[in-house]
Amino acid sequence: MTIQGVSIDFTVLGPIIALGTAGLLVLLADLAGKKTPRGLLYGIGVAGCAVAFALLWQLFGRTATTMNGVFAVDRFSWGFSAILVGALAVTLLLSTLRNADDGGSPGSYAALLIFSTIGGLILAGATNLIGLFLGIEQLSLGLYVLAGSGFPREASQEASLKYLLLGSLASGFLIYGSALLYGASGSISIAALAEAAAHLTPLFVIGFALLLVGLAFKLALAPFHLWTPDVYEGSPIAMTGFMTVAVKAAAFAVLARFVYTAFGHDSIALVPLWGLAILSMLVGSFGALGQRNLKRLLAYSSIAQAGFMAAALAGVGQYGLSALLFYVAAYAFMNLGAFAVIALLGDGDEAYADLDAYRALFYRRPWAAVALTLFLFSLAGIPGTAGFFGKVLLLEQSFSAGSWGIALGVSLVIGSIVSIYAYFKVIWQMFAPQEGESPVVAGNSALSWIPIVVGAAGVLLLGVVPQTFVSFVSAAP
């Protein structure tokens, strides 16, 4: 037996290295002065994102593995990594708002955020079970702390604790499942699982079920979603936006890799996943109906949207990955955009979490109202927005995938119908004329207009000329 040295391809790891450097620089800068300006700390982070994105751009279309096959850049990881980096940049920008909660220590806040994102990148590129676990823990550990960074608010502390306790439990499931999968296949590589998956040995089935539970928790798929509304409501606004998008992007990347590598068309082993998806669509959309807090509403919406996204994998079809990536990208634009508007109006704090604050917003702040309307249209799937073509792609994937696919498609339609009311309730408030008490004063920071404008541009671009993006993502090998 020979022991090989680990060969490392630094170009493949480029984005991670860039973000890691930025994270360390943020920590150093924080140490350097007594009170380092927040702008500088977040600025370093955003610069790191720009470099990471540029390095990622170089990797477009490449397929390569490194670290002895632990980490890969390929069609599963590339798009999701880009979304992660984008989500990080947006979150850092939103954190610069005057009242944004960063627990009074912006240095550690920004660094944790960056290190979390690195976890997401590791997860998206993980090709074996160890990498998967490393990534998911790296992603989650930072988030446990960040959920509580709205320190003085009790809700934020509660969110942090809840997320930590339930998240650790889910990690337990995940690692136990990984161990059983290793037992079933004799290898920690995801690619090697295909053979065990073909025979569906009991060990494999149990291992996969436990792994699925762990991932479903991270994705907030029902019935593992119970933490979601409280954690999303309690966390600072910018963090909530980050959690909804970044965690989904990373976890769906690895789920897609798992499904496409280990399972063929119509594998019976995927039935539990479809069950989770259908349940999520229904629970999320019905749950959103009664909410008067916008963060909570979007939390339930994110449960439903996670269910929608899972439908992309229904038939394990040729375009399934494109459909998933399209929808996750659309979701990133529309959801981060919506959170950016909420953060902008409240100047970073919770003033605009409450639905009543949106009354007659269109007549006070027309542009903010129009932007939020656009994002909500997209979430509801109105034509002309990214969400519409996303839904068309998902429905197409579902309906061409046999009887489970039809069940998924029908649930998708039902979920969409139900959630109309939740989204349009907000639009309704914004366009209804003012009655009663004087409105809450709204903030207006130039920096947070950047994510709003980018989000709106993305939503419209994917909604009017989806072709550019569809061919773009299907071009990735």
Partner 1 sequence: MISKMVFLPAVAALALMLVPRSQSVVLKTIALAAALLTLMLSLPLLGVLPGGMEQESVSWIAGPLEAAYHVRVDGLSLFFVLLTTLVSVPAVWAAFTYADATRLRGYLALLLLFEWTLLGLFTAGNLLLFYIYWDLMLIPVFLALVGYSGTAQARRAGMLYLIYNLFGGLVLLAGVIGIVVNAGTFEVLGHSYTLDPAAARWLFAAFALAFLIKTPAFPFHAWMPPTYTYLPPSMVALVSGVQSKAGLYGLLVFAIPLFRYQADPVSPAIQAAQYFAPAMLVIAVVSIVYGALTAIAQTNAKTLVGYSSLSHLGFVLLALFAFGFSSISASILMIVSHGVIVAALFLLLGFVEERTGTNDLGAFGGLAAGAPRLAALMLIVAMAALGLPGLSGFAGEFLILIGAWQTQPVYTAIALIAVVLAAVYALRLLQGAMHGPLRAPDDSKAGRSALDPIVLDGNTPPFDIKPRELALLAPLVAIIFFLGIWPAWLNDRVPIQTDIDAQAAVHDRA
User: According to the binding rule CB under 8 A, does residue 319 interact with partner 1?
Assistant: yes
Contact pick of 53, 176, 367, 421 for partner 1 (by CB under 8 A) = 421
Find the part of the chain contacting partner 1 (CB under 8 A) among 2-10, 49-57, 248-256, 384-392.
384-392
User: According to the binding rule CB under 8 A, does residue 470 interact with partner 1?
Assistant: yes
Q: Is 187 left (phi over 0), alpha (psi -120 to 50) or beta?
A: beta
Contact pick of 24, 206, 420, 440 for partner 1 (by CB under 8 A) = 420
| Helix or strand run (H / E) with residue 72 | strand 71-73
336 vs 382, beta carbon nearer partner 1: 382
Min separation Cβ 427 and partner 1, Å: 8
Q: How far apart are CA 152 and CA 223, in angstroms?
A: 31
Min separation Cβ 453 and partner 1, Å: 18
Contact pick of 95, 108, 302, 322 for partner 1 (by CB under 8 A) = 322
Contact pick of 313, 416, 449, 454 for partner 1 (by CB under 8 A) = 416
Q: Helix (H, G, I), strand (E, B), or coil: what is residue 348?
A: coil
Q: How far apart are CA 209 and CA 275, in angstroms?
A: 12
147 vs 401, beta carbon nearer partner 1: 401
Q: Helix (H, G, I), strand (E, B), or coil: what is residue 98?
A: coil
Phi, psi (deg, nearest 5) at residue 144: -55, -45
286 vs 421, beta carbon nearer partner 1: 421
User: According to the binding rule CB under 8 A, does residue 260 interact with partner 1?
Assistant: no
User: According to the binding rule CB under 8 A, does residue 284 interact with partner 1?
Assistant: no
Measuring CA to CA, which residue among 97, 134, 119 is closest to residue 23? 119
User: According to the binding rule CB under 8 A, does residue 395 interact with partner 1?
Assistant: yes
117 vs 385, beta carbon nearer partner 1: 385
Phi, psi (deg, nearest 5) at residue 65: -120, 160
User: According to the binding rule CB under 8 A, does residue 466 interact with partner 1?
Assistant: yes
Q: Residue 308 corresponds to which amino acid?
A: F
User: According to the binding rule CB under 8 A, does residue 375 interact with partner 1?
Assistant: no
User: According to the binding rule CB under 8 A, does residue 396 interact with partner 1?
Assistant: yes
Count of residues that bind partner 1 according to CB under 8 A: 40
User: According to the binding rule CB under 8 A, does residue 400 interact with partner 1?
Assistant: yes
Contact pick of 51, 286, 399, 439 for partner 1 (by CB under 8 A) = 399
Q: How far apart are CA 191 and CA 259, in angstroms?
A: 10
Find the part of the chain contacting partner 1 (CB under 8 A) among 8-16, 42-50, 121-129, 382-390.
382-390
Q: How far apart are CA 219 and CA 312, in angstroms?
A: 15
Which pairs from 50-57 meet CB under 8 Å and 24+ separation?
50/89, 51/18, 51/22, 52/14, 52/15, 52/16, 52/18, 52/19, 52/22, 52/85, 53/15, 53/82, 53/85, 53/86, 53/89, 55/11, 55/14, 55/15, 55/18, 56/14, 56/15, 56/81, 56/82, 56/85
Measuring CA to CA, which residue among 286, 323, 317, 306 is closest to residue 404? 317
Min separation Cβ 430 and partner 1, Å: 9
User: According to the binding rule CB under 8 A, does residue 60 interact with partner 1?
Assistant: no
Min separation Cβ 320 and partner 1, Å: 9
5 secondary structure, DSSP code: P
Interface positions with partner 1 (CB under 8 A): 318-319, 322-323, 362, 377, 380-384, 388-389, 391-393, 395-396, 399-400, 409-410, 413, 416-417, 420-421, 424-425, 427-428, 431-433, 465-467, 470-471, 474
